[in-house]
Chains A and B, each alone.
Chain A
Amino acid sequence: MRGEHHMGGPEMAPQTPQRSARPGTPVTLLDPPALSASRETRDAPRLRDSFTDSDRRGRLSFGWALETAAAWLLGGLWILPLAYAFWTAFHPREYSTRFAPTAPLTLQNFVSAWDAAPFARYFLNSFLLVTITLAAQLVLCTLAAYAFARFSFRGRDVVFVLVLMQLMVMPDVLIVENYRTMSRLGILDTVVAIGLPYMASAFGIFLLRQTFKTVPRELDEAARVEGAGFLTMLWKLYVPLAKPVYVAYALVSVSYHWNNFLWPLIVTNSVGSRPVTVGLQVFSSGDQGVDWSIITAATLLTSGPLLVAFLLFQRQFVQSFMRAGIR
């Protein structure tokens, strides 16, 4: 969030899922849902709404109108830069800064941008990047989280602290040394090199470990009595129960790596490996002149897939992240 702020927010932040298990403490974007949802948490929104209703009927109706106005004003202000970008991208150049209601709509800016740079290749690279990175993260983090959650081995706690260190010392700040490593591995300017430092994600390990720990021991023991091996149990018991957490983590990871810029900028050097973010920067800082309409169209193009996915799965985002009554 961030993290993988993220949802991107570029760095989507680590969260402490177990806090959400109790009402009265923060439920976050990324806590393990379902497993620990308490009745009270789920009932909270309904109760509060009735509280607000009585407020509204009573002495606070003026205050309520004021709040509504403030919320809308801030919302309008917040959407303004984006609305401006949409206006510029969908209108001919001569209207890019002139807001005439009669201005004709056009897709020409998108066509020009698409033709002016190898965006198709950039999109392919970004798609490969987020897919490879996510696949590796899911496998590595699942195995490590299972080890931390269910095996007692010597040095476990020390290693866990070492893992958590990555939450503070992220690959994003170790650019100089990681570049050196990639150069020594001979994989500079490849898609794999962009994703490699992020594949063992402390955030993912932490998140899954917390979830795996909520799986009742009885289930675990019952499976063992039936003769299931530890990998069978992981696959048949733990992974299915953690499905909502996987979905949430995947959304965060994909948006983080789709949006990531500085490290890919450093480590890539050619069309064959650049993701869309770096491609956009090369395109817009090149000698396009300053045709803002085309640059803005390219900008929307690069954010497009994520924006559309977010708008489509908003409900899913919200349900798995906040588990409260948002629509």
Chain B
Amino acid sequence: MRLPVGIRAQVYGWLLLLPALVLLVTFTHYPTVTTLYHSLMSTPKGARPAVWVGADNYHAMAADPVFWQSLRNSAFYALGTIPISIALALLMAVLVNGKLPGRGFVRLAYFTPTILPMIAVANIWLFFYTPGYGLLDQVLGVFGIGSHNWLGSRASALPCLMAVAVWKDAGFFMIFYLAALQGIAPALGEAAAIEGAGRWYVFRRVTFPLLMPTTLFVLVNAIISSFRLVDHIVVMTRGGPDNTSSLLLYYIYDVGFKFWDTSYAAALTMVLLAILATAAIVQFAFLERRIHYQ
């Protein structure tokens, strides 16, 4: 006996979905809920089981200078790296969009850092920054500037990590701009040129506004990746010196897997989730108007 079409669609639909859904719930939705739950419990120690402590972990967080410093660092890191990498990505895309001798090579140079593992990139830059004989100090030495402990000093550690992120991300974002630029009808630029508009004017008044959806898309992704990727910190500074280069996710890793204070790590994760949720809401508010999931 065959089931009616409507019922069959229900059954088959859910059956097809089931395997993916089980994994998705197990590793995304369930841990999100348990993060909240564990953030309200104490960390079990030895024979002492976890007990309900309410907002204690959050009170501890509010009084934890390292948390605030990591949060500030994360904000500084995002505000520093995102605009620079997006601006560079746009510049790169415009530069390699037109005719250019050796265009293929230049594109390759911009894009290659993207496909390298962050861990490899961090090792390369670690050597780059080595005091005394790293390339950076050697180049500066030519100009008579003495050696500097780039990753070991409080003022320069975080900016040095940010440079690495910009180097790695700009070429990736460039791809999106390049694709968008090639979708813009050239007739627009031609029309403006006939009217006597300069290239900068055309860029500012025609091209850039048309790239706005791309910019928003890249922006959201840049925000997410700035909070999500801390591999280079593990390799280059381990959050130091004095937590001046500790980002939020790195601090979670430290608390969760070095001090094994899992409840406090859960409370910290809630903050990170709140930040990501805000990014999601922003994306839906701004991008959804243009995109309809059909």
* Inter-chain contact B228/A325, CB cutoff 8 Å: no
Cα of A2 to Cα of B130 in the assembled complex, Å:
27
* Inter-chain contact B190/A151, CB cutoff 8 Å: no
Question: Which of A100-108, A115-123, A141-149, A241-249 makes up part of the contact surface?
Answer: A141-149
Residues of A within 8 A of B102 (CB): 72
Restricting to A212-268, which residues have a CB under 8 Å from any CB of B?
213, 230, 255, 258-259, 261-262, 265-266
* Inter-chain contact A71/B182, CB cutoff 8 Å: no
A: number of interface residues (CB 8 Å): 126
* Inter-chain contact B180/A26, CB cutoff 8 Å: yes
* Inter-chain contact B182/A325, CB cutoff 8 Å: yes
Given contacts A78-B167, A169-B273, contact A255 B120 (CB under 8 A): no
* Inter-chain contact B21/A79, CB cutoff 8 Å: no
* Inter-chain contact B100/A1, CB cutoff 8 Å: no
* Inter-chain contact B199/A303, CB cutoff 8 Å: no
Given contacts A78-B167, A181-B26, contact A53 B99 (CB under 8 A): yes
Is the contact region of chain A dominated by helix, strand, or loop, or is it mixed? helix
Residues of B within 8 A of A148 (CB): 17
Cα of A24 to Cα of B182 in the assembled complex, Å:
8
Query: Counting CB contacts under 8 A, is A272 at the interface?
Result: no
Interface string of B165-195 (1 = CB under 8 A from A): 0011101100110111011111101100100
* Inter-chain contact B118/A292, CB cutoff 8 Å: no
* Inter-chain contact A71/B276, CB cutoff 8 Å: no
Most interface-central of A45, A80, A168, A230 (chain B CB within 10 A): A168
CB distance from B87 to the nearest CB of A (A): 12
CB distance from A316 to the nearest CB of B (A): 13
User: Which residue of B has the minimal Cβ distance to A163?
Assistant: B24
* Inter-chain contact A9/B172, CB cutoff 8 Å: yes
Given contacts A97-B133, A151-B13, A266-B253, contact A71 B115 (CB under 8 A): no
Restricting to B203-237, which residues have a CB under 8 Å from any CB of A?
210, 213-214, 217, 221, 224-225, 227-231, 234-235
Most interface-central of A26, A97, A302, A322 (chain B CB within 10 A): A26
Given contacts A74-B95, A303-B116, contact A29 B175 (CB under 8 A): yes
Query: Counting CB contacts under 8 A, is A88 at the interface?
Result: yes
Query: Counting CB contacts under 8 A, is B123 at the interface?
Result: yes
CB distance from A138 to the nearest CB of B (A): 11
| 21 cross-chain CB contacts under 8 A | A5-B114, A10-B228, A25-B180, A26-B213, A26-B217, A44-B185, A55-B199, A74-B110, A81-B113, A82-B124, A139-B19, A151-B12, A170-B228, A173-B272, A179-B256, A230-B12, A259-B118, A261-B119, A280-B119, A284-B123, A299-B120
A sample of 7 more A-B contacts (CB under 8 A), given A7-B172, A153-B9, A178-B27, is A1-B114, A71-B106, A74-B106, A140-B20, A176-B256, A200-B27, A259-B117
